[in-house]
Amino acid sequence: MIEVVGNIVLVGETGAGKSSIINMIAGVDIAETSNGAASCTFDHHDYTLPVHDQYFKIFDTMGLNEGDRGTVGHTAAIAKLYQFITHLDGQINLLVFCMRGPRIKDATHQNWKLFHEIMCEKKVPTVLVVTGLENEDSLDSWWWNNKENFERHDIRPDDTACITAIRGKKLGDDRYAFDDQYEESRAKVMKLILNRALLSAPRFHKTHWFYALIRPILTFFRLTKIRHRKVVRDIAAVCGLSEEETRRLREEFDKH
Ligand SMILES: Nc1nc2c(ncn2[C@@H]2O[C@H](COP(=O)(O)OP(=O)(O)O)[C@@H](O)[C@H]2O)c(=O)[nH]1
Ligand SMILES: [Mg+2]
């Protein structure tokens, strides 16, 4: 049986390159890329994959997209959060924050806040992977040249990898335009994971974590004027909450 050493969560808006990075780690295409299918914040898929022989559960999540914040359906988002937290079993060993260079969009900033600050309470190591840099002369100087911009948005990752997550155009038999940059990028991502994923990550108590997140998440999504009773009933039904859990959820909403 495979021993899984930890959970790695990839976050970032649609198009950031999350699924491409998972395929890069896997060495084969297992995650569907360019999948713009309608989905909800906190929706996720997980893949058990080796990184230099150590197996991790890698979560491909649906982050926030530009303009989502005011429009997210709270029932669906909170129900998905519950399922996500249940699957994480209280532990994130590394948060991999993905974005497509070069512009820091509002969604980039919001995703950092939602996942690094609110969900992980700034306790989980967070690395930044910037994709789309295949045409840069030096991948690594990109970070140095843009660092100040991130600091201005209060995005301060523990480490970074500037990469390309695609091989580019096919040039001939099994040869692609960005083969070299791609291999270099893959090695960087693998190293980043092994260097930064905590072996003893902070343990969040599964249900406490969920209930503690309700209020900050409602505030984040500006979901103040909601009809509590019905929302609680809907979430309880989607998540299959027990009577006791439903009562607790109602209490959290009432405090809001
Ligand atoms: N040029 C370029 N395209 C990329 C890169 N990474 C991903 N893409 C493309 O961007 C699109 C979205 O990538 P995907 O991995 O599905 O992003 P996700 O929505 O975050 O999972 C796909 O068409 C990818 O082929 C990259 O490093 N450079
Ligand atoms: Mg994807």
What single letter denotes the amino acid at residue 238? V
Q: Give the model's pLDDT for residue 50.
A: 97
Which residue CA neighbors atom 13 of ligand 1 most closely?
Answer: 17
Q: Give the model's pLDDT for residue 125.
A: 96
Taking the C-alpha atoms of residue 101 and residue 142, their distance in angstroms, rounded to an integer, is 9
Ligand 1 atom nearest the C-alpha of 21 is 15
Q: Give the contacts of 197 (CB within 8 A, at least 6 positions apart).
A: 5, 6, 8, 56, 93, 94, 125
Q: Is there an atom of ligand 1 within 6 Å of 34 CB?
A: yes
133 CA to centre of ligand 1 in angstroms: 11
Q: Give the model's pLDDT for residue 208.
A: 85
- Domains of the chain and CATH, by start: 4-201 (3.40.50.300)
109 CA to centre of ligand 2 in angstroms: 19
Q: Which ligand is nearest to the CA of 22?
A: 1
21 CA to centre of ligand 1 in angstroms: 8
Q: Is there an atom of ligand 1 within 6 Å of 131 CB?
A: yes
Pocket test for ligand 1, best of 34, 46, 115 (most atoms within 8 A of CB): 34
Which residue CA neighbors atom 26 of ligand 1 most closely?
Answer: 132
Kindly give the pairing relationship between strand 126-131 and strand 54-61.
unpaired
Distances (CA, A) of 85 to 3, 4, 79: 20, 17, 10
14 CA to centre of ligand 1 in angstroms: 9
Q: Is there an atom of ligand 1 within 6 Å of 101 CB?
A: no
Which residue CA neighbors atom 28 of ligand 1 most closely?
Answer: 132
**Ranges under pLDDT 70 in the chain:** 36-38, 69-72, 224-227, 256
Q: Give the model's pLDDT for residue 206.
A: 75
